[in-house]
Structure 1
């Protein structure tokens, strides 16, 4: 049975969601503030984490950022903030998906299923993909360069895998969005831009090389310098 961590300070909502998800066959641990959420995360292994944006003691963004430094576990941000800039901020700090209150629990369940499928598909694929000095480890969701490595989220892995398979191809934002996010998120060019920017930074810090290149009016290319 898959175990989820739900960090939500609205107790009625948290208990209702936990009950709904338990009926779908998932075990759900509930915490009501960010510090308790972090303590729970460090003490148990979870298959997915649901984090409310606004939490007492440690807010959801900080908790998401802290977890992401330690793990590539799928994270869904629960938020009352519907502005695209807020959604992008959540993605930028490591969330894989977000859902805006109020929402139908069945929508949340669909997002959970999609994210779990995406995460599981990465672990069953061929083990490694290489380009130049980079190695993409599919089993551990790592990108390696020499003796160094950086952890990737499921979405970062998928994005990098697509582009590493056919280096120097030009990919439109729309294509990358459809392939990685599967239409679950409301389309925004910034969703793709933020993820590319995050990957570019990780690879630059890892190798000192710039592998992602913007192609004006078209999208992005992965590979050697033009």
Structure 2
């Protein structure tokens, strides 16, 4: 089994390409099948560590594919479907699926679910947890930030927020998206918590203001911007 390989099964080419792009960005290898009949052969050939499986497939639906895979392997399966019925979710879990996500979905939510399932199965996600830029490095495994070769201490949530923004540089995120990615979907605090953390991070990055900045996009949210001279 290749611990870095994920099999995507969906008849929508656009969905496959989108998921593939995000998975490869996180360091995973990807293989794809577009119908239910070819999945089992592809699964045996590629021996992936996880399967992302759409329910509505031509030739054989996702339920039957899930049954067939579970007959020969305990590889985790995340069911992917446009249906949000509780019945579908319960049936998928009864058939052995390990998680379930409803279209449309945020690609980063899917990545988070992939990593969570792999952790539960005892596999270490391959996502890189360090970033090195000129005069700025972030290592979340060691919880260490270096600015101009000087180690800067950040509380855990500031560290995670900075890492997320830098990793997704030049992409704008709403406060809600940042809350979901850093604190989780069950966060019940004040959404303006983000503003407080951003203010503190900006202060610590002050010496790098000619290279990097966290920009406020009014009416939308925030982004980490790399300037032309960086």
Count of matched residue positions in the alignment of Structure 1 and Structure 2: 125
Q: Describe the SS at the equivalent of 2:104.
A: coil
Which residue is equivalent to 2:122? 120
| Residue 48 of structure 1: aligned partner | 50
What residue in structure 1 maps to residue 59 of structure 2? 57
Instruction: Note the C-alpha offset of 1:25.
Output: 0.3
TM-score by length of 2: 0.52
After superposition, what is the alpha-carbon deviation per residue over 1:140-195, rounded to whole angstroms, capped at 9, x for unaligned? xxxxxxxxxxxxxxxxxxxxxxxxxxxxxxxxxxxxxxxxxxx99xxxxxxxxxxx
Q: Which residue of 2 aligns with 1:76?
A: 78
> The residue matched to 1:120 in structure 2 has which SS?
coil
Structure with greater proportional helix content: 1
Q: Secondary structure at the match of 2:79?
A: strand
Distance (whole Å) between structure 2 residues aligned to residue 84 and residue 9 of structure 1 = 23
- Unmatched runs of 5 consecutive residues or more in structure 1: 122-182, 185-226
Structure 2 runs not aligned, ≥5 long: 124-183, 186-230
Deviation, structure 1 residue 44: 2.2
Aligned partner of residue 28 in structure 1, secondary structure:
strand
Q: Does 1:108 find its partner at 2:110?
A: yes
- Partners of 1:26 and 1:108 in 2: CA distance: 13
In the TM superposition, residue 58 of structure 1 has moved relative to its aligned partner by 1.0
* Counterpart for residue 27 of structure 2: 25
TM-score (norm: length of structure 1) = 0.53
User: Counterpart in 2 of 1:7?
Assistant: 9
* Larger-Rg structure: 2
Runs of 4+ displaced beyond 6 Å: none
For 2:26 and 2:67, locate their aligned partners in 1 and report how far apart those are by CA, in whole Å: 28
Cα distance in 1, alignment partners of residues 24 and 39 from structure 2: 19
Once residues 58 and 26 of structure 1 are traced to their aligned partners in structure 2, the CA distance between those partners, rounded to angstroms, is 27
Shift of 1:16: 1.2
